Chains A and B, each alone.
Chain A
């Protein structure tokens, strides 16, 4: 290192986020006494313009050449401070952050020990940053194409937005039609416009858009690479019908010689049956039938007369079709895999699955839908029409026994269904709610409208639904037992039909895709955004964005907004065409490499190659993610990693340990005891870990 380190330390109050628990002045005072520290300051908001100006002024006036910022997680503001360094003429990698917010102030309550911990973290950073070297940011090309996973309303909107910007999109949908959950809904709150009417044009647009490659019946099997250069393997299931030939005339369905019980129609939530050859639903896109090999006689009995093939004028049936894999290369990925309705069977107290006239809200969406199993007539499973209906809110939501979160849409869904059921059946409709949550444009107004519909509202969580008649008026009815918390009475309300407004759960297989994509999830199982407020569609993996209910419960409007935002992020990457590679990648020091190739199988990203002529390994910086597996694994210590040199890591550790046992370095009288330094000598740097 040419010039001696001149370090500035900047301790952030983060409003009161840090300073409420950590004595920031003491931390700054302690830092002042550390080796090479020229200035140590504390300030309310280090990330503000004024805070950054403070750092930049010191760089210029005091000739700082290293900076330590003790503030929040580097995930949040490391880029901010790096930019500040760069604009003050300092290499951005001469910065080290000490996370005294998430890893200190927010998780401790004892001020004295939290302050001590902050001093330790700052000392570690000071020791480390002294050994930082300038690193060059390299640029990598971004592939212009985008992969969108999930063809529900969020996925479709994201795909169309990207495609409209002139970029190519691969839209992958697991089902044989796009449309997602929204395709099931009858009308949408609060405007009561028909769900299909507003969604169908989007579905058609997706199918016909010149920039969209639509693959239904397909799943993402494997993803590798990094931002700008993702490679994905897409597994396409056999539908036994040539998508390019079938026009959805349905003659094959009529002709099918299947004679068994009809198979429960998943789209209609099992309220109707279908044949082994079927169209996913009436307005499916693509309008192409599919064959279910689990029930088709051609598969289950090893052959039939195949009347379907005979009637097909376009020769579209292809029973020899096998699944195949498509490999694509994209610059970014938008994940919009949606949610799963809460399984009402888990809430045994409501008798779903026991009493036939207990329905979930998803089933009722189909039941009242003009294209549903009863053509919109509310006819119950036992063939009767309801005179009284009970709508139960928060089933599987806001409940520590099932899902603790509020699913956000259920209040409005329940109000909408109450309104529609009231309108279509003339039945007495009772709503049983805990708290009415009608935030959002037009939603409180809709609540007011339903309040005036003549619908009854009872505030109380239903304890049980039961067919036990306590009174002759309850004979043959389902009885809802609830405390009407407004009147203070415990009530029994007999009804003919119960609607369970089920909440939103993460998809049961969301963990699988999460691992494939290397994105995180929060405690509830929904995918985790990079930052709850400031990066709501990003993930901690660059170039992978999330939209819609896979990130958390939300309504259609919010899903579409989020999808647009995710698309904008993808477009931004695509348009820019290049991406700054964080120079934390590993490199092989050729002189030390013995060519043993131990590192190669260690690399999860296939970034290491072997050059025959020289007999040395080489790392492709564009594929390297800087995970460090090869660095630790190399028996010759021949692999180095930017920002993670052994010397830097050891300096950080020794800085941290210097304070151990000193007990009260929270005071301003901090000093560096002449402790044993863990720091390896410059020559031994490469092999100190082994």
Chain B
């Protein structure tokens, strides 16, 4: 993660290099860096209402197939949320590694929906714009949502193409071979539907407000 992004949220948070070589870092958390009210935000979020019951047993991290790639394991993420270390949690790569396979949810002895917490953190990271800009996962989500909003359905082909263009254009060539094989097997569909969902959502919402 790039340091400039990290320091935007809280200037005092995060490691401060005291010496360039060897890399010894000072890490001390002052209580004022913690956002005491943050946990409360999750209380009425579906699936997140039991976060306070976490006993830090680590079953989520152990069950998670991606935890071995994470900078902060799901258990530690849970602790960050509970302690109110908001920027640390939102900036972690971990939330973008979650594939929502729900292994953590099935493993949790406290019936906490860790996967739903991940979704909530991802949403907040997007809202507050603290995520790695060229990291492909949030880009995918964004492209996907826009496609569904305007077309009603998604298309693997157009999604892959647009996303790759935005995150790593060079990879387009690598994808061509796979695309060709899929095309030959009759598995690529290039046409797109035209259900304008966003308009539908907005119309319905406006109609209700008018009625009220």
Direct contact of A and B (CB under 8 A): yes
Q: Footprint of A on B, CB under 8 Å?
A: 53, 55-64, 67-68, 73, 75-76, 103, 107, 109-111
Q: Is the CB of A461 within 8 A of B110?
A: no
Q: Is A488 part of the contact surface with B, judged by Cβ < 8 Å?
A: yes
Q: Is the CB of A461 within 8 A of B67?
A: no
Would you give 14 A-B contacts (Cβ < 8 Å), ordered by A?
A: A398-B55, A399-B109, A401-B109, A434-B57, A460-B61, A461-B58, A461-B62, A461-B109, A463-B107, A464-B107, A481-B62, A481-B63, A483-B60, A485-B56
Q: How far is the CA of A490 from the CA of B67 in the complex (A)?
A: 7
Q: Is the CB of B55 within 8 A of A460?
A: no
B110 touches which of A400, A435, A490 (Cβ 8 Å):
A400
Q: How far is the CA of A98 from the CA of B56 in the complex (A)?
A: 44
Q: How far is the CA of A616 from the CA of B57 in the complex (A)?
A: 69
Q: How far is the CA of A349 from the CA of B103 in the complex (A)?
A: 11
> Given the known A-B contacts A399-B109, A401-B109, A401-B111, are A461 and B76 also in contact in the complex, defined by CB atoms under 8 Å?
no
Q: Is the CB of A400 within 8 A of B57?
A: no
**Residue from B59, B64, B67, B103 whose CB has the most chain A CB atoms within 10 Å:** B59
Q: How far is the CA of A658 from the CA of B64 in the complex (A)?
A: 61
Q: Is the CB of A488 within 8 A of B73?
A: yes
Q: Is the CB of B73 within 8 A of A460?
A: no
Q: Is A462 part of the contact surface with B, judged by Cβ < 8 Å?
A: yes
Q: Is the CB of B55 within 8 A of A434?
A: yes
Q: How far is the CA of A463 from the CA of B57 in the complex (A)?
A: 10
Q: Is the CB of A460 within 8 A of B62?
A: yes
Q: Is the CB of B55 within 8 A of A462?
A: no
Contacts of B53 in A (CB 8 A): 400
Q: How far is the CA of A490 from the CA of B111 in the complex (A)?
A: 21
Q: How far is the CA of A461 from the CA of B68 in the complex (A)?
A: 16
Q: Is the CB of B55 within 8 A of A490?
A: no
Residue of A whose beta carbon sits closest to that of B70: A490
Residue of A whose beta carbon sits closest to that of B63: A463
Q: Is the CB of A400 within 8 A of B111?
A: yes
Complex interface bits, A398-413 against B, C-beta within 8 A gives 1, otherwise 0: 1111000000000000
Contacts of B64 in A (CB 8 A): 490
Contacts of A394 in B (CB 8 A): 109
Contacts of B58 in A (CB 8 A): 459-461, 482-485
Q: How far is the CA of A484 from the CA of B75 in the complex (A)?
A: 11
Q: How far is the CA of A460 from the CA of B110 in the complex (A)?
A: 14
User: How many A residues touch B, CB cutoff 8 Å?
Assistant: 21
Q: Is the CB of A435 within 8 A of B55?
A: yes
Residue of A whose beta carbon sits closest to that of B67: A490
Q: Is the CB of A398 within 8 A of B63?
A: no
Q: Footprint of B on A, CB under 8 Å?
A: 349, 394, 398-401, 434-435, 459-464, 481-485, 488, 490
Contacts of B61 in A (CB 8 A): 460, 483, 485, 490
Known: A460-B62, A461-B109, A463-B62. 19 other contacts (CB 8 A): A394-B109, A398-B55, A401-B109, A401-B111, A460-B57, A461-B58, A463-B103, A463-B107, A464-B63, A464-B107, A481-B62, A481-B63, A482-B58, A483-B73, A485-B56, A485-B57, A485-B75, A490-B61, A490-B67
Contacts of A482 in B (CB 8 A): 58, 62
Would you give the shortest CB distance from A480 to chain B, in whole angstroms?
9
Q: How far is the CA of A282 from the CA of B191 in the complex (A)?
A: 79
> Given the known A-B contacts A400-B111, A460-B62, A490-B73, are A483 and B67 also in contact in the complex, defined by CB atoms under 8 Å?
yes
Residue of A whose beta carbon sits closest to that of B110: A400
Residue of A whose beta carbon sits closest to that of B57: A461
In the A-B complex, the 5 residue pairs with the smallest Cβ-Cβ separation, listed nearest first, are: A483-B58, A463-B62, A461-B57, A483-B61, A399-B109
Q: How far is the CA of A401 from the CA of B50 in the complex (A)?
A: 14
Residue of B whose beta carbon sits closest to that of A462: B62
Contacts of B67 in A (CB 8 A): 483, 490
Q: How far is the CA of A400 from the CA of B107 in the complex (A)?
A: 11
Residue of A whose beta carbon sits closest to that of B76: A488
Residue of B whose beta carbon sits closest to that of A491: B62
**Residue from B61, B62, B64, B68 whose CB has the most chain A CB atoms within 10 Å:** B62
Tell me whether chain B's interface is mostly helix, strand or loop, or mixed.
Answer: helix
Q: How far is the CA of A434 from the CA of B56 in the complex (A)?
A: 8
Contacts of B62 in A (CB 8 A): 460-464, 481-483, 490
Would you give the shortest CB distance from B62 to chain A, in whole angstroms?
3
> Given the known A-B contacts A399-B109, A400-B110, are A461 and B59 also in contact in the complex, defined by CB atoms under 8 Å?
yes
Residue of A whose beta carbon sits closest to that of B61: A483
**Residue from A401, A434, A464, A490 whose CB has the most chain B CB atoms within 10 Å:** A490
Q: How far is the CA of A482 from the CA of B111 in the complex (A)?
A: 18
Contacts of A400 in B (CB 8 A): 53, 109-111
Q: How far is the CA of A482 from the CA of B53 in the complex (A)?
A: 20
Q: How far is the CA of A335 from the CA of B63 in the complex (A)?
A: 42
Residue of A whose beta carbon sits closest to that of B107: A463
> Given the known A-B contacts A464-B63, A483-B62, A490-B68, are A349 and B107 also in contact in the complex, defined by CB atoms under 8 Å?
yes
Contacts of A349 in B (CB 8 A): 107
Contacts of B63 in A (CB 8 A): 463-464, 481
Q: Is the CB of A398 within 8 A of B109?
A: yes
Residue of A whose beta carbon sits closest to that of B79: A485
Residue of A whose beta carbon sits closest to that of B50: A400
Q: How far is the CA of A460 from the CA of B62 in the complex (A)?
A: 8
Residue of A whose beta carbon sits closest to that of B111: A400
Contacts of A434 in B (CB 8 A): 55, 57
Would you give the shortest CB distance from B64 to chain A, in whole angstroms?
8
Q: How far is the CA of A434 from the CA of B62 in the complex (A)?
A: 13
**Residue from B61, B73, B75 whose CB has the most chain A CB atoms within 10 Å:** B61
Residue of A whose beta carbon sits closest to that of B59: A461
Residue of A whose beta carbon sits closest to that of B73: A483
Residue of B whose beta carbon sits closest to that of A397: B109
Would you give the shortest CB distance from B73 to chain A, in whole angstroms?
6
Q: How far is the CA of A463 from the CA of B75 in the complex (A)?
A: 13
Would you give the shortest CB distance from A266 to chain B, in whole angstroms?
30
Contacts of A462 in B (CB 8 A): 59, 62
Q: How far is the CA of A484 from the CA of B67 in the complex (A)?
A: 12
Contacts of B56 in A (CB 8 A): 485
Contacts of B109 in A (CB 8 A): 394, 398-401, 461
Q: How far is the CA of A349 from the CA of B107 in the complex (A)?
A: 8
Contacts of B110 in A (CB 8 A): 400
Contacts of B111 in A (CB 8 A): 400-401
Contacts of B76 in A (CB 8 A): 488
Would you give the shortest CB distance from A410 to chain B, in whole angstroms?
14
Would you give the shortest CB distance from B127 to chain A, in whole angstroms?
29
Contacts of B68 in A (CB 8 A): 490
Q: How far is the CA of A459 from the CA of B62 in the complex (A)?
A: 12
Contacts of A401 in B (CB 8 A): 109, 111
Q: Is the CB of A483 within 8 A of B55?
A: no
Q: How far is the CA of A463 from the CA of B62 in the complex (A)?
A: 5
Q: How far is the CA of A488 from the CA of B71 in the complex (A)?
A: 10
Contacts of B55 in A (CB 8 A): 398, 434-435
Residue of B whose beta carbon sits closest to that of A459: B58
Contacts of B107 in A (CB 8 A): 349, 461, 463-464
Would you give the shortest CB distance from A462 to chain B, in whole angstroms?
7
Q: How far is the CA of A484 from the CA of B62 in the complex (A)?
A: 9
Would you give the shortest CB distance from A5 to chain B, in whole angstroms?
51
Would you give the shortest CB distance from A87 to chain B, in whole angstroms?
49
Contacts of A461 in B (CB 8 A): 57-59, 62, 107, 109
Contacts of A464 in B (CB 8 A): 62-63, 107
Contacts of B103 in A (CB 8 A): 463
Residue of A whose beta carbon sits closest to that of B112: A400
Q: How far is the CA of A480 from the CA of B174 in the complex (A)?
A: 38
Contacts of A481 in B (CB 8 A): 62-63
Q: How far is the CA of A459 from the CA of B59 in the complex (A)?
A: 11
Q: How far is the CA of A485 from the CA of B55 in the complex (A)?
A: 11
Q: How far is the CA of A463 from the CA of B114 in the complex (A)?
A: 14
**Residue from A400, A459, A461 whose CB has the most chain B CB atoms within 10 Å:** A461
Would you give the shortest CB distance from B29 to chain A, in whole angstroms?
16
